Structure 1
């Protein structure tokens, strides 16, 4: 990782030189801190945060520390906003709205699945600047699959171009939605709009893997009711660069800086996104 970003270097130039270094970092973090604990977690390595459905493990904490040190060194002057760091100090989240380039990190997206020995988890990294996600990395270590998106340059899975396509006519839209345990009464009411003919909603798993499924054309859309940037930043760019679209319940694109009208959707194409927005905004 020699020859880090020069003072006059743009984010695009940095990515051209160092995207492979980020790929290397995420693979090494998973190999060193996540996979050795998969299906081998001791009881003392698992804790609750806000409740029994909100878990954190030593794998989350240690992988985030590894990535924080590596990414900050790779791009001097950048800051890191990681899920576990924000849990310890919520003020860390404000860096997303700041002037410095920011790495947004979810070390284990799908911790509940990870704890239960389910392979449906991933590591998410996004690089953003001035509220715009410029690049993202989604790594599913059990599958050894790595999806990379760079704004304006497309999305790729293990080097192959991703294209989300359009839903097949005549079949119900497959939509992954927020779990009812994590929604307000108002959001539950909005999500009920998806329980209609032609739509087949189901509870989501790892948000990062659901976004990857949309980008691959395996899932038609998501409908989520929370804003945490570490869950969404990487996947939203992946969907965009694969040809998809995202919109909040007022029809505006989702902003990683917050203040979004919820729920919001990410879909395989703009027409599907518009359809879901209409369903998520039922008459009062």
Structure 2
């Protein structure tokens, strides 16, 4: 396998791409690439960390970042809530425009709210949380779980710090500091999903938050010892969907590239060894899930 190519090519068996396509799903998850997901059932559509714009490297480093409106309309035509785990550009950039297009609420930390204000969202579309509180989303319940950002670049946290006033808009990449980091616990009434969008977490805030599905940042495995094992022990999931394994600078419809240092085959093997089913999902691929049958 050539270094950094699409998982599933070369010596990664195509069966590593595992789709659960129940004909009568109680929850459908769509992977958007990076840390992004759409969760929806018949009553609700919640989007997490959407980033379809995926600006090229030179644009990211040297220009102001403009969300790609057409891609958002094409792939996310409807949303009720948009949850953002932290305010780095590859998590928050597209969220305000998606809220403008769909009328969704933007849910996130005070830093995320400042980004929403910068982009022109009105107060009634802003839902600020510092975590540890239940937020009603129709019949669903969402809770932010305080977390921390991983030291993901040369042992350091990229663009650390907070956003305490609306940044310039459109922003430059360094103007979107991470602010408070939140994982998300989403209870649809049928299934529970935990979304971990960074390479670290705070164990005490995952303790007791059982999940059927964990959307888990693949980068964390190379920086935090016991990352996958501890998540499984704390959350007891049936399924883990690896995310944030792809470079966020490859255009959405091009062949994705794996981030340097991410060992997807090793991660999948470790998940299986822990008794959990990994669901490696292609970008824009879906998982259609039902709750576990009870005895």
With the length of structure 1 as denominator, give the TM-score of the two structures.
0.28
With the length of structure 2 as denominator, give the TM-score of the two structures.
0.27
Higher helix share: 1
